[in-house]
Amino acid sequence: MRTYDNPVIGGFHPDPSVCRVGEDYYLACSSFEYFPGVPLFRSRDLVHWRQIGNVLDRPSQLDLPDDTPASAGIYAPTLRHHDGRFYLITTDVRGKGTFLVTADRPEGPWSDPVLVDVPGIDPDLAWDEDGNCWCAVAGVTVSRIDPATGKVLEGPLPIWSGTGLQHPEAPHLYRVGDWWYLMIAEGGTAHGHSVSIARARSPRGPYEPAPANPILSARSTDLPIQSTGHADLVTAPDGTWWMVLLGTRPRGWFPGFHVLGRETFLTPVEWADGWPRVGPVEEQHQAPSTWHPFQLPPVRDDFDAPTLAFSWISPRSRPDDSWSLTRRPGWLTLDARFGPAFFGRRQQHLDCRAAVRIDPGSGRAGLSVRMDEAHHYDIEVAGGVVSVVLRIGPVRERIAERAVEPGPLTLAVDISTADGTRGPDTLTFSVEGPEGAVELAELDGRYLSTQVAGGFTGRVIGMYVTEGEAAFDWFDYQEALR
């Protein structure tokens, strides 16, 4: 029996939304304050996913101001395919509000935003048999809209807001047989998270709740996967049903610390007496009948390609004059003349190693493990000295230093759960020059966790420059097997 491991997309990939077109599945996630926004993935079996782009990849689609707080920005997209076209609807919570974009191909180009005047977040799209487009939002209300213009044609109509738990959100409407099903998340996105469902004969309602609500929750359990919720349903070509959802993997002493943010998990769904039935989300499940693994792109980036890989993200914006792949061919050059520059990728494994080859020149630059502006650990080089710097809330402290020779050197961080007894993990920073590798500092990982930093994101590991200019020959990220 073939099995798969959860999560199917590790690291900070929350609020998954999925659709199937033929034999291909497509999945989108929230991106919050990072640019480009809304990573988009393709799969043939719901288990093996390859990122094929970012939906919001230019400033005309996503222009986050410099004062956008961490964990603001883009919330909870819904991805759908209708009448030969892809639709994605989402909300910029501190900017333009709810909007949708469309594309003929999932790789893009995606259109500029069409604003949709509905109050709330977590918007959903569904079409009825007459071609009407319905948009549900957290709360929960539903409106009939014109997706070409964003105009609201009817509503918003209050429908079903769950079983009484806090924060009814993440609504998704599905037509299954003669019923319309409304699936929502409730209980908040922390330990009380859950999925509930109701059904009606029309999108307008009235809705009757499932007798076994919530149909999914890990609350008050000792399951290794917690906070399960914010789910979406999809059918496979063989008629089986599957659910993608977010969850967390807390570790360490009470209350448990999760550092990768909310990740994307997969679990099977069965139908009984007209309702979906979902078992606990486990670390291993029996795999779908269609098994289609593929070769993932390398996790080492030598910056030899003419464009950046899709996995690189930056807080809020990525000005053209802050980076270059051509100024020094085969290197990524970052420039701080117009402000600090950071290019990172999500930490996707509990145990991993990230390293970068850097030529700092006369700049101040390095490797950072980031939760937000107030919670990050850095190893940086400037003026012939390598330093390890921690930032925890209002505290910023340089805790280790070592003189180095001019020229390129390697900076690295090893993240291990082996010694995580009270905290979730340990981060060990080192520098490697002509004299070999030297360990500089070992730091407790709990201070780079959601439980300390707050917010909705997870760790992002990347290169940065805060003064002058620096060049990076390669960046290497590897899962560390224990």
Residue 378 has pLDDT above 70, yes or no: yes
Residue 254 has pLDDT above 60, yes or no: yes
Domains and CATH numbers, the chain: 3-286 (2.115.10.20), 300-479 (2.60.120.200)
Average pLDDT on 301-322 reads 96
Specify whether the CB–CB gap between 352 and 359 falls below 8 A.
Answer: no
- The proportion of the chain whose per-residue pLDDT surpasses 70, expressed as a percent, equals 99
Specify whether the CB–CB gap between 7 and 290 falls below 8 A.
Answer: no
What confidence tens digit (pLDDT) does each residue in 140-189 have?
999 999 999 999 999 999 999 999 999 999 999 999 999 999 999 999 99
Spatial strand order in the sheet of 50-56: 17-21, 24-28, 37-43, 50-56
Comparing 27-41, 89-103, 288-302, 426-440, the range with the smallest average pLDDT is 288-302
- When pLDDT is cut at 50, 70 and 90, the band that residue 420 belongs to is low
Specify whether the CB–CB gap between 143 and 150 falls below 8 A.
Answer: no
> Alpha carbon 229 to chain centroid distance?
14
Q: Measured on CA atoms in the order 152, 154, 160, 166, is the torsion positive or negative?
A: positive
Which ranges constitute the DSSP H helices of 311-467?
A: 450-453
Residue 482's pLDDT is 64
Identify the CA nearest to 360 among candidates 342, 384, 379: 384
pLDDT mean across residues, the chain: 95
Average pLDDT on 370-378 reads 98
Bridge partners for 163 per DSSP: none
- When pLDDT is cut at 50, 70 and 90, the band that residue 436 belongs to is confident
Q: Measured on CA atoms in the order 111, 115, 121, 127, is the torsion positive or negative?
A: negative
Residue 421's pLDDT is 62
Residue 299's pLDDT is 87
Residue 338 has pLDDT above 70, yes or no: yes
Q: What are phi and psi of 49, to 5 degrees?
A: -120, 140
Cis bond upstream, residue 306 (ω within 30): no
Catalytic residues: 15, 169
